[in-house]
Amino acid sequence: MQSRGKRLDKKQNTLYVGSLAKGLRLLRAFDETHTELSLVELAQRTGLDKSAVQRLANTLHIEGMLDKNPVTRRFRPSHAWLELAYAYYWSDQLVGQALPKLIDLSQSLGETVNLAERSGDHIIYVNRLPCQRTYFAATVIGRRLPALSTSSGRAMIATLPADEREEAIRTWPLKKFTARTTMDRTSIRHSIDEAVEKGYAISSGQMILSEIAVACPIRDPNGRAFAAVQCSISAHTWTHERVEAEILPRVQDTANAISPASQAHRG
Amino acid sequence: MQSRGKRLDKKQNTLYVGSLAKGLRLLRAFDETHTELSLVELAQRTGLDKSAVQRLANTLHIEGMLDKNPVTRRFRPSHAWLELAYAYYWSDQLVGQALPKLIDLSQSLGETVNLAERSGDHIIYVNRLPCQRTYFAATVIGRRLPALSTSSGRAMIATLPADEREEAIRTWPLKKFTARTTMDRTSIRHSIDEAVEKGYAISSGQMILSEIAVACPIRDPNGRAFAAVQCSISAHTWTHERVEAEILPRVQDTANAISPASQAHRG
DNA sequence: GAACCAGGTATCATTATATAATACCTGATA
DNA sequence: TATCAGGTATTATATAATGATACCTGGTTC
């Protein structure tokens, strides 16, 4: 256990460009609560020294990846970050395949509809169609959440073979968002078992107290889910039962309609 | 004019980290038509040599910025690109301020609504609420277009003082998208003059043949627009006149409602 | 209004680190 | 089996990144 050697494994490879990796750390220093950072703040958040941050931030600025407020000298994400999302969208076939169906769904329900994909042990929202003065409007596209803590994640996990499912339930991360967020893995196992039987997952108050969420898996040809259609509804005007009776069937139809589309160019 | 010295100006500065800039070039090599690239394709598109691309792509892969198909060995944008968009959204106050109003607008019109921001001599779409089986659905968030060629851009330019306006009309770039895209700067001047008088811009078939687009500026406290609310309508079911009578007023109300909000924390 | 300080900017010697040439694999095609 | 394109690995070399330090600037304190 060479604890001193700092950069071991793949990183101490001549194929690893450290400066690039450090630059990326600056980009990742920005999040919900850090929307604008100064040089020293960047240094603190990345653990890099002042000089390094100076050079890297300057480079990112020149290259148009960071905007700089000329008076405060603070840095912000630039429009280029959205251009990257644009490129991402074109590279993800699912997004294009799903969009028309999601629009139909959202119009017919009059409720907010999200498309989530699995990203390791997390899920990430790749598309959102907001409807109704979405109280919990908020920005969601690109948000990454522990799979176990979301209805989308549970709906997806439920499609995995029993051993993988169990492994996920035991080891994947959890995060507490509200007072009602389930942190007990046994409860989560029940919830996922239910999803295995019913083919969908439903949860209340996991992310936001007043929210009911239903999610149905989008499956690949082997039946494994790699994505999910999810619908968020206000618990103020809906009950669990009404959601299952009125919302769920259409969400499920949409998810199924998207599913078989895995007829990409590949045997 | 030292034509040989390759990296002059700001780039031949010790504050410029070339490796980072090169890495960013790889990211930017992906677009609508290049959604998945191999090493050699990356080398071609970036102008870097094979070895450099190998190292940089490898680094980006290790850092989670590029996904690699283990069988084809081709690279793709990763989910991290969406996470960057997520961070961008939080850093852009306008997005949060505008969203609820845009949702209302979209619901009341039943038509696709977009939010565009100015980005130098281009505009970029920062938010979109798709409605109706948007024929021209397509992904739009993050798309960057010449300001002069879009209704949003023209609506914004129209709020600038006459000299800046003229400068824009004469020098900013144009791009032809359809047979009907205006490439004549005199016509564009007419269109912008009209927008100056009326306070909004309307155009047909600029981006897509069957599309009518209306845009209203979102102004800062000095009256200059930095963004616009835009609505895209199918020319198959609507006429220019009906759009002006029925759609426009509500788009304008929305844009105005968003405008004064420049009451950020700042004197 | 002088002294102080935090944070941004600029400079520079030093060598770590990125480089590009080259050789080596692999798997597809003929 | 031969050929080839494209991906992977290695290495000597010097370029280009490093981080310490010094210099500005503008805001705050007494």
What is the distance in angstroms between the Cα of A187 and the nearest Cα belonging to chain B?
29
- Which DSSP state fits A243? I
The whole-angstrom separation of Cα A67 and Cα A57 is 10
Chain C nucleotides reached by a protein CB under 7 Å: 6-13, 17-22
Contact B87 A11 (CB under 8 A): no
Of B11-25, B48-62, B246-260, minimum mean pLDDT range: B11-25
Q: DSSP secondary structure string, B58-83?
A: HHHHHTTSEEE-TTT--EEE-THHHH
**Contact (CB<8Å) A142/B62:** no
In strand D, the nucleotides that come within 7 Å of a protein beta carbon are 5-12, 16-21
Cα–Cα distance measured from residue B122 to residue B147, given in angstroms and rounded to the nearest whole number: 4
A188: distance to nearest CA of chain B, Å? 26
Give the containing element (helix H, strand E) for A232. strand A225-234
Q: What is the pLDDT of residue B256?
A: 95
Q: Is the CB of A100 under 7 A from strand C?
A: no
Q: What is the DSSP letter of A33?
A: T
Interchain CB contact of A60 with B (< 8 Å): yes
Structure tokens at B16: 């410029």
Nearest CA-CA distance, residue A193 and chain B, Å: 28
| B6 pLDDT more than 80 | no
What would the mean pLDDT of B252-258 be, rounded to a whole number? 95
In which residue are the tokens 């209805």 written? A151
Task: Kindly list the averaged pLDDT for each block of 10 residues, start to end, along chain A of length 267.
Answer: 34 82 96 94 92 93 94 95 96 92 91 95 94 66 96 98 97 94 95 97 90 95 94 91 95 92 38
Give yes or no for a contact between A205 and A191, defined as CB atoms under 8 angstroms apart.
Answer: no
Q: What angle do CA A207, A208, A211 make, to 5 degrees?
A: 105
CB A94 within 8 A of CB A126: yes
Q: How far is A235 from chain B (nearest CA, A)?
A: 19
> Is the pLDDT confidence value at B2 over 60?
no
Dihedral sign (CA B145, B148, B150, B155): positive
Q: By the CB < 8 Å criterion, does A19 face chain B?
A: yes
Note the pLDDT of residue A75. 96
pLDDT of residue A209: 87
The reported pLDDT for the residue numbered A168 is 98
Calculate the average pLDDT of chain B: 89
Decide if A86 and B58 are in contact by the 8 Å CB cutoff.
Answer: no
* Strand nucleotide closest to residue B72 (CA to C1'): D7
> Does the CB of A131 have a partner CB in chain B at under 8 Å?
yes
* Minimum CA–C1' distance nucleotide for A6: C16
Architecture of the B18-82 domain:
Orthogonal Bundle (1.10)
Q: What is the DSSP letter of B156?
A: H
**Touching check for B31 and chain A: CB below 8 Å?**
yes
- Say whether pLDDT at B267 is over 80: no
Strands A66-68 and A112-119: unpaired
Q: What is the C-alpha separation between A258 and A256, in angstroms, rounded?
A: 5
Beta strand spans in A93-224 (E): 112-119, 122-129, 144-146, 201-204, 211-219
**Top-tier CATH class for A9-82:** mainly alpha
Query: Touching check for A84 and chain B: CB below 8 Å?
Result: yes
> Measured between alpha carbons, how far is B72 from B96 in angstroms, rounded to an integer?
40
Tokens of A214: 């239903």
Cβ atoms of B262 and B224 closer than 8 Å? no
Interhelix angle B185-198/B162-171, nearest 10 degrees: 150
Confidence band (pLDDT; 50, 70, 90) for B12? low
CA dist., res. A256 & res. A224, Å (int)? 13
Buried/exposed B77-95: b ≥16 CB within 10 Å, e otherwise: bbbbbbbbbbbbbbbbebb
| 3-state class (DSSP) for residue A28 | helix
A72 CA, C14 C1': separation in Å? 34
Is B36 at the interface with chain A, CB within 8 A?
Answer: yes
Q: A241 burial class (0-12, 13-18, 19+ CB within 10 angstroms)?
A: exposed
Measured distance CA(B25)–CA(B182) in Å, rounded: 32
Neighboring chain A residues of B76 at a CB cutoff of 8 Å: 91
The three state secondary structure string of B32-63 is CCECCECHHHHHHHHCCCHHHHHHHHHHHHHC
| Measured distance CA(A229)–CA(B153) in Å, rounded | 35
**CATH hierarchy code of domain A92-261:** 3.30.450.40
CB of B178 closer than 8 Å to CB of B205: yes
User: Minimum mean pLDDT among A6-15, B91-100, B160-169, B218-227: which range?
Assistant: A6-15
A221 or B263, higher pLDDT: A221
The reply to whether residue A134 touches residue B63, judged by beta carbons under 8 angstroms, is no
Q: Under a CB-based contact definition with an 8 Å cutoff, are residues A18 and A10 in contact?
A: no
Q: Does B99 touch chain A (CB under 8 A)?
A: yes
Q: Do B30 and A124 touch (CB under 8 A)?
A: no
Q: Where are the domains of chain A?
A: 9-82, 92-261
CB neighbours (10 Å) of residue B28? Answer: 16
Our measurement of CA B47 to C1' C11, in angstroms, reads 32
Distance, CA of A104 to CA of A108 (rounded, Å): 6
What mean pLDDT do residues B185-205 have? 96
CA to C1' distance (Å), from B68 to C17: 26
Taking only the tens place, the pLDDT of each residue in B98-151 is: 999 999 999 899 899 999 999 999 999 999 998 876 655 566 899 999 999 999
Contacts of B44 (CB under 8 A, 6+ apart): none
